[in-house]
Amino acid sequence: MQTVQEDIRQLGVDSLWHALTQHKPLKDKPPMHIVRGEGCYIYDSEGNSYLDALAGLWCVNVGYGRKELAEIAKEQMTELAYLAPTMSHPKAILLADKLLKLLDIQGHVYFASSGSEANEAAFKIARQYQMQIGQYRRYKIISRHRAYHGNTFAAMTATGQAERKIGYDPLAPGFLHIPPPYPYRRHEKLTVEEHGDYAAQMLEDTIIYEGVETVAAFIMEPMISGGGVIVPPDNYIAKIRQICDRYGVVLIFDEVVSGFGRTGKLFGHWHWGIKPDIITFAKGISSGYMPLSATVVSNRIFEAFYGEANELKHFRHVNTYSAHPASTAVGLANIEIMLREDLPDNAMRMGAYIREGLKELEDHPYVGEIRGKGLLLGIETVADKTTKEPLAGSVIAGILNTCKEMGVLIGRNGNTVPGLANVLIMAPPLVLSEADADKIVHALKTAFAKSLAS
């Protein structure tokens, strides 16, 4: 048995091209070899368990091992395994309807398989919409530094993380970036609110400087997630909505991470009481049990696509796996679980509980700021609290390693923003219990204490 496990691990190094991974070191240290998941825990082939405080890639919101979802997928595959997305089937219809009702939006939903595809669809819809309402020169899409929007060409170009683009030029034309609000590193003379105004003003200035008649859309995450867990000042998002309205710019919210309970409300934008024009979802929409994403489009936009068969107005876009029967069936059941167990509320409570548990860590010399909402939490680490110089990568690696040795997997915004890969990230499954939360807090406190001793 042992030999089979070793063989398969070696095969994994020899044949699998792992995401975001430098392969030479794998010769001596193969990737974690995980064989099972249950609740918030994953188990390796040696029987070690790890509290997955990242929920995979921030996606296993309802936790691992939900047999109910496996049964739903099996039933759906047995009944209807696949359907061309030009036709319709009950699960896709019910899921689209459910999403619109939950969001309280009159609109239409385009399904695909990943967050990148959802954002690509959003960009194409925004451009085509502008053209079809007679705004022929509006093609530019503005996004923000630090944000991640995906790995396909347009989504990567919209991404505001320089390292992810090295080696892939030329990127997609027509994209530009503005800085997001970043309260922790704001200008010292500004209050958080003034900083929020200033950051929103940058969008308005950029639209004007670029030429209002050239800007199609603005895309943002409600809270920057992978780029370092950055929560905007409370006044920022309402201002962004007003600016987009003022200048006819489509407002796209990327809720790939913040959707489906992650931030303590079912949807991230609910924290700020505005309605985007387009919203993209992935990850938590199916809790990672099946590949699924959604681009939700308000009818104000959709109407520009509504025409007779011979008008060239329709959305000229297809994904083979759009509205996949098994994915949409699982998505629907996943949302039912989330609502039945009130997981957004648990995320809110457990997030507050972890923040409380980490309170004394705020005095640690390497902790600049602990921030987040719900179960999307970040710890910005610094070498010096006054200058805010980021903590050295090797010290951060040591902290993460101690947590791992204690059976807790914590993330980091590595490989993203040059010089600022210094934020530890927690986004555990939303089923987290107090005992699990205690374990995360204990591991972090121990690891930070040890980092001073080394």
**Site residues (vs ligand PLP, CB under 6 A):** 57, 114-116, 119, 148-150, 221, 225-226, 254, 256-257, 282
* Cβ-contact 90, 62 below 8 angstroms: no
The rounded distance, in Å, linking the Cα atoms of 153 and 172 is: 6
* Cβ-contact 218, 143 below 8 angstroms: yes
Q: Nearer to ligand PLP by C-beta: 99 or 382?
A: 99
Residue type, 51: L
Residue 103 CB, nearest approach to ligand PLP (Å) = 18
The rounded distance, in Å, linking the Cα atoms of 148 and 135 is: 28
The rounded distance, in Å, linking the Cα atoms of 142 and 406 is: 42
Q: Nearer to ligand PLP by C-beta: 220 or 441?
A: 220
Q: Nearer to ligand PLP by C-beta: 257 or 301?
A: 257
Q: Nearer to ligand PLP by C-beta: 224 or 367?
A: 224
Positive/negative CA dihedral, 438, 399, 393, 155: negative
Residue 155 CB, nearest approach to ligand PLP (Å) = 7
Residue 2 CB, nearest approach to ligand PLP (Å) = 34
Q: Nearer to ligand PLP by C-beta: 249 or 257?
A: 257
Residue 449 CB, nearest approach to ligand PLP (Å) = 31
Q: Nearer to ligand PLP by C-beta: 59 or 200?
A: 59
Q: What are phi and psi of 50, to 5 degrees?
A: -130, 130
**Which residue from 22, 21, 31, 411 is spatially nearest to 227, judged by alpha carbons?**
411
Residue 148 CB, nearest approach to ligand PLP (Å) = 5
Residue 59 CB, nearest approach to ligand PLP (Å) = 8
Residue nearest to ligand PLP according to CB distances in the complex? 115
Q: Nearer to ligand PLP by C-beta: 200 or 257?
A: 257
Distance spanning both ends of the chain, measured CA to CA:
39
Q: Nearer to ligand PLP by C-beta: 76 or 258?
A: 258
* Cβ-contact 41, 64 below 8 angstroms: yes
Structure-block tokens of residue 421: 């890969």
* Cβ-contact 75, 301 below 8 angstroms: no
Residue 196 CB, nearest approach to ligand PLP (Å) = 21
Q: Nearer to ligand PLP by C-beta: 217 or 282?
A: 282
* Cβ-contact 326, 349 below 8 angstroms: no
Q: Nearer to ligand PLP by C-beta: 128 or 225?
A: 225
The alpha helices in 16-66, defined as continuous H runs, are: 55-58
**Which residue from 80, 108, 93 is spatially nearest to 301, judged by alpha carbons?**
108
Residue 366 CB, nearest approach to ligand PLP (Å) = 26
Structure-block tokens of residue 57: 């890639």
Cα-based distances in Å from 227 to 34, 296, 414: 26, 24, 9
Positive/negative CA dihedral, 169, 174, 175, 176: positive
The rounded distance, in Å, linking the Cα atoms of 126 and 45 is: 47
Residue 268 CB, nearest approach to ligand PLP (Å) = 10
Residue 291 CB, nearest approach to ligand PLP (Å) = 8
Quickly tell me which residue has 């030999």 as its tokens: 3
